[in-house]
Structure 1
Amino acid sequence: MNRILKTTAIAAAVIGVVGVAQARDQVRIVGSSTVYPFASYVAEEFGATTEFATPVIESTGSGGGIKLFCAGVGEGTPDITNASRRMKPTEFETCEANGVTDITEAFIGYDGIAFAQSADNEPMDVTREQLFLALAAKVPVDGELVDNPYQKWSDVDSSLPDRKISVYGPPTTSGTRDAFGELVMEAASEGMEAYAGEGYTDIRADGAFIDAGENDNLIVQRLAENRDAFGIFGYSFLEENADTLIGSNVDGVAPTPDAIGSGEYPVSRSLFFYVKNQHAEDVPAMSEYANLFMSEQMIGDIGYLKGIGLIPAPEDTRGEARAAVEGHDQLELADLSE
């Protein structure tokens, strides 16, 4: 839609829902800190190469972003939310209850969750079970679940260094935290008899795990200051800081683009953004921004975002995802249960 049409846009797209979005040419985006560097790159390119203003992006975490996105339709709500995990069925239902009834899901590619430390240290490879035992709130000792007693990595496994367990990680609003809970905590504990076959995801709160907020760059900075500590964050931040950080092999697999893209690296996850189609007429820049993000120029095998850490999906998968965004395909609750 051009600027003349934009200035005459009406609120037909939001009739029957709460709130009306005022016509504007600046897209408002919230959500994942992991997706933030990719979205920011696209936003800068969009602002530089189109007639529209550079989108405003706020890093709120995946859960926090979806909560803001699902709050309703209108001027005070975001147009797009980034997510480092898929929207949950309960979140979709909240969206619907608040009148956000036309959403398109955009799958942009893959990322891995890195477990990293200062490059001044010797590499420390870990298993998911060792990570779980180091970070779980309650662990099995002599057949009983007790408050985690482990203070050093060597307490968890004598093969690990005699270093204090100190891990900077994401808060509960973060998609990285959700993915770590599923891919590490649940995966490791489901086979442990003490948990009766159910995944356990509670993280200890005695100081061994430090909630470092939504800004992964702050974790990187803290690892430079505290060389005994480890950090949990998206692979793209490890790649950007390869001169100062080293990642651990997890279950014997190094965090590399090939291993993440193939799923061989056990802590790999998909990245998304979600588009509020009910804002499309009043915020014409929104669809154009989304289409640019999904272009081969950005998410392709030689796209710009690969250069800053995005792991591209296979070509046919990218094509399907691109078509869904261009066609404004409406997300259904059943899709989130697949």
Structure 2
Amino acid sequence: MNRILKTTALAAAVMGVVGVAQAQEREQLRIVGSSTVYPFASYVVEEFGVTTDYQTPVIESTGSGGGLKLFCEGVGLDTPDITNASRRIKVSEFQRCQDNGVTDITEAKIGYDGIVLAEDASNEAVNFTRKQLFLALAAKVPQDGKLVANPYEKWSDIDPSLPDREIEVYGPPTTSGTRDAFEELVMEAGSEHFDIYGDEGYTNIRQDGAYIDAGENDNLIVQRLQENTTAFGIFGYSFLEENQDALTAATIEGVEPVPEAIGSGEYPVARSLFFYVKNQHADSVPSMYPYVNLFMSEKMIGPMGYLKGLGLIPLPEKMREQQREDIENREQLKLSDLK
């Protein structure tokens, strides 16, 4: 009798564990991250909800840095499953993930994007060099062999060929991958023209009102440019694609931000777009990999894919195939990959 009772109790305990495991599954995929990747991911989210039996994922635009911070908080259903990024994960962010137990991550590169400097369509296109943009936006600039607080008030103060207008630039906040990429590709590159900054590069952006933090919603930057027609805005190419009638894009180093130039790297302010998958959630969130496979499919990221129509610049065919293979194998991102 005691043996029967013990067996019954054991069976009940096992069923209880199974019940808890089932309760710990989450039907809805949770996605955070980049405002630049957000329009592409949102399209996939909606398509996924309509064409599969899974619930439509929950997606939030938090910026690349904000998304990676949430993603790396730990493993558990109260943390995101996927984070989008308009730049590659930093070594410090990867290490934070590792420290918090997020040790199995797969990186997916979805395509290319260009960072655009644009103004209202009533203006003629301006050609900027990265040196000029650096001098306009750096917190400190060289004057008489010293670094001083940026004194430039108008673009024409830097170069007479530039507009005789106040320097006003609406741009992303420090949590944004677009901001990170702009600092690297424009500010750091611009500072290399001046020996006074040394070998490290200088990326500090002025905070005296010339650069205006416009938040994570790039659509708001577009709206502000229509209200303030003398200002410029910084955002991803997809927002230019969506608002071509309302905006005029500047050329950088004489190169227009067009898909061919962005994809080839000729446009000097081009970057790759990513999302990161928390593989440790795969069993608990059954919809995760079906969503990832849809995102990486030819009908989404291919040359004739839906996302190209939204402004995504496709990867070369061999690279797309390699990315899909990495996803299929759940290739684990390593620290050495980032160095």
- Whether the aligned pair in 2 keeps the contact of 1:10 and 1:281 (CA below 8 Å) is no
Match of 2:301 among 285, 299, 324: 299
| Backbone CA RMSD of aligned residues | 1.3
Structure 1 unaligned spans of 5+: 1-7, 12-19
The AA in structure 2 aligned to 1:106 is A
CA displacement at 1:22 relative to structure 2: 2.2
33, 50, 71: which one aligns with 1:48: 50
Query: Which amino acid is the alignment partner of residue 190 of structure 2?
Result: A
Q: Is the counterpart of residue 184 in structure 1 residue 191 in structure 2?
A: no
- The residue that corresponds to 2:228 in the other structure is 226
Q: CA deviation at 1:172?
A: 0.5
Higher mean displacement: 130-139 or 325-334: 325-334
Alignment of 1:222-301 (within 5 A): 222-301=224-303
In the alignment, what sits opposite 1:144? 146
Tell me what 1:126 maps to: 128
Match of 2:100 in 1: 98
**Amino acid of the structure 2 residue aligned with 1:154:** S
User: Measured at CA, do residues 275 and 10 of structure 1 come closer, stay the same or move farther in structure 2, by a change above 3 Å?
Assistant: farther
Which residue of structure 1 aligns with residue 14 of structure 2? none
Distance 1:235 1:78 in 2: 27
Instruction: Find the aligned partners of 1:73 and 1:198 in 2 and give their Cα distance.
Output: 35
Q: Distance in 1 between matches of 2:306 and 2:321?
A: 17
Kindly provide the amino acid, as one letter, of the partner of residue 240 in structure 1. E
Is 1:113 matched up with 2:115? yes
TM-score normalised per structure 2: 0.93
Counterparts of 1:188-199 in structure 2, within 5 Å, are 188-199=190-201
State percent identity of aligned pairs. 71
**What CA deviation, in whole Å up to 9, does each residue of 1:205-259 have, x standing for no partner?**
0000000001101101100110011000000001100010011000000000000
Q: 1:189 to 1:323 in 2, by over 3 A?
A: same
Q: Determine if contact 1:25/1:52 at 8 Å carries over to the other structure.
A: yes
Paired letter, 2:111 = G
Separation (CA, whole Å) in 1 of partners of 2:40 and 2:159: 38
Contact 2:131 2:193 in 1 (8 A): no
Q: 2:82 aligns with which of 80, 83, 103?
A: 80
Contact 1:9 1:23 (8 Å CA) reproduced: no
Measured at CA, do residues 323 and 21 of structure 1 come closer, stay the same or move farther in structure 2, by a change above 3 Å?
farther
Say how many residue pairs are matched: 322
Structure 2 letter corresponding to 1:118: D
What TM-score, normalized to structure 1?
0.93
> What is the 5 A alignment of 1:152-163?
152-163=154-165
Larger Rg: 2
- Confirm or deny: 8 A CA contact 1:191 1:197 kept in the other structure: no
- Residue of structure 2 in register with 1:60 after alignment: 62
